[in-house]
Amino acid sequence: MWQLMMSQLAPRDKTGAYIRPNSSFRNFVGKAAENPFGPATGRYRLFVGKGCPWAHRTLVTRALKGLEDAVAVSVAFPGSGGMWELESEIFSCKTMPEIYQLAQPGYNGRSTVPVLWDDVKGAIVNNESSEIIVMLNSEFNEFARHPELDLYPDTLREKIDRWNEKIYHAVNNGVYRCGFAQTQAAYDVACSELFAVLDEIDRALSTNRYLCGNSVTLADVRLFTTLFRFDAVYYSLFKCSLRRIQDYQNLSGYLRDLYQLPGVAATCDLDAVKRDYYGNLFPLNPGGIVPAGPDLANFLLPHDR
């Protein structure tokens, strides 16, 4: 019964390892004349889930760039049958599957968040978080309160990309590879890779304030949303239990440093995170009990970075 439920929750390969499906919509906002999605204020919105780390990336980037007035947000939450339901009806839609159908009638893929949506065309621009945050960083500067902040500068792109590739596989997706593993062997591999890279990051942060030096970049944004959830969710529910982030000398302060950047804390909803994970992943938590803690005040302690 557990294997049946897990196969419906998380696709796997023949070894029992979790395989994350690819995103379907991969258009870009840009200023080229032939691009149907030109940058504008008030035209685009993000569909996000507060518990989702991938969607959280887009909210952090939006906050750091100061795009709250330029890019709207619509919030979804996990509803019955694992479907994302909208907190407020929009475009006569109540769920994310309806949003996807509105954009592409007959669509039968996964209806995930985040989504970068074009209100004017009634279309999904992109539903790949790693690409949405690149667009938010560079394509809306004329509408941003902080256009001077470049989270993906040319001089650091090679280093950012190296970190992103390593962190995505071992950490961002690695926690899911631990939690959704369906064999002991698959779990052991994922857990070993996860903590090897966390250890490597902790060593790197002993000499750098951020992953790529003294300036925050998209590599930090992508790592932050996993670290924010780690001790509250992944440590216990996903069996990522060798160490907590707060047990790391440098990672723990780095997490607090990012949380305390202007605008970031407002994007963080720990109650929603715990409710979404513990309350909706039945095969991992059949009772649906949501644990108390950790204390959010810990994120406000001095980071000493």
E-strand ranges in the chain read 44-49, 71-78, 84-90, 93-95, 115-118, 123-126
CATH number for the domain including 134? Answer: 3.40.30.10
Using the Cα atoms of residue 30, residue 36, residue 38 and residue 43 in order, give the sign of their dihedral. Answer: negative
Confidence category of residue 10, pLDDT binned at 50, 70, 90: confident
* Residue 240 among the catalytic residues: no
* Residue 176 among the catalytic residues: yes
- Do 296 and 158 sit in the same domain of this protein? yes
Query: Taking a C-beta distance cutoff of 8 angstroms, is the pair 204, 211 a contact?
Result: yes
Q: What is the pLDDT of residue 132?
A: 98
Residue 16 within any structural domain of the chain? no
The one-letter amino acid at 295: D
Confidence category of residue 18, pLDDT binned at 50, 70, 90: confident
Catalytic pick among 18, 52, 240, 278: 52
**pLDDT > 90? residue 81:** no
Other CB atoms within 10 Å distance of the CB of residue 14:
6
Q: Nearest to residue 206, comparing CAs of 170, 153, 252, 240?
A: 252
Catalytic pick among 18, 44, 100, 176: 176
- Do 163 and 292 sit in the same domain of this protein? yes
CATH number for the domain including 158? Answer: 1.20.1050.10
List pLDDT tens digits, range 130-152.
999 999 999 999 999 999 999 99
Least confident residue range of 18-22, 79-83, 108-112? 18-22
**pLDDT > 70? residue 210:** yes
- Do 263 and 235 sit in the same domain of this protein? yes
- Mean pLDDT of the region 94-116: 95
Least confident residue range of 60-69, 145-154, 161-170, 275-284? 275-284
The residue out of 143, 168, 199 marking a domain boundary is 143
Q: How far apart are the first and last CA of the chain?
A: 48
E-strand ranges in 99-194 read 115-118, 123-126
Sheet holding 71-78, edge to edge: 93-95, 84-90, 71-78, 44-49, 115-118, 123-126
The residue out of 143, 168, 186 marking a domain boundary is 143
For the chain, give the longest Cα–Cα distance.
54
Residue 37 within any structural domain of the chain? yes
**pLDDT > 70? residue 7:** no
Confidence category of residue 16, pLDDT binned at 50, 70, 90: confident
Distances in whole angstroms, Cα of residue 193 to Cα of each of 54, 163, 169, 170? 20, 14, 9, 6
Using the Cα atoms of residue 210, residue 213, residue 214 and residue 216 in order, give the sign of their dihedral. Answer: negative
**pLDDT > 80? residue 204:** yes
**pLDDT > 90? residue 20:** no
The residue out of 91, 124, 143 marking a domain boundary is 143
Query: Taking a C-beta distance cutoff of 8 angstroms, is the pair 20, 176 a contact?
Result: yes
Q: What is the pLDDT of residue 4?
A: 66
Q: How many domains in the chain?
A: 2
Find the domain containing 233 and state its range.
154-300
Higher pLDDT, 223 or 1: 223
Residue 10 within any structural domain of the chain? no
**pLDDT > 80? residue 304:** yes
Residue 20 within any structural domain of the chain? no
**pLDDT > 90? residue 22:** no
Q: What is the pLDDT of residue 14?
A: 78
pTM of this prediction? Answer: 0.95
Across the chain, mean pLDDT equals: 95
As a whole-number percent, the residues of the chain with pLDDT over 90 amount to 89
Residue 4 within any structural domain of the chain? no
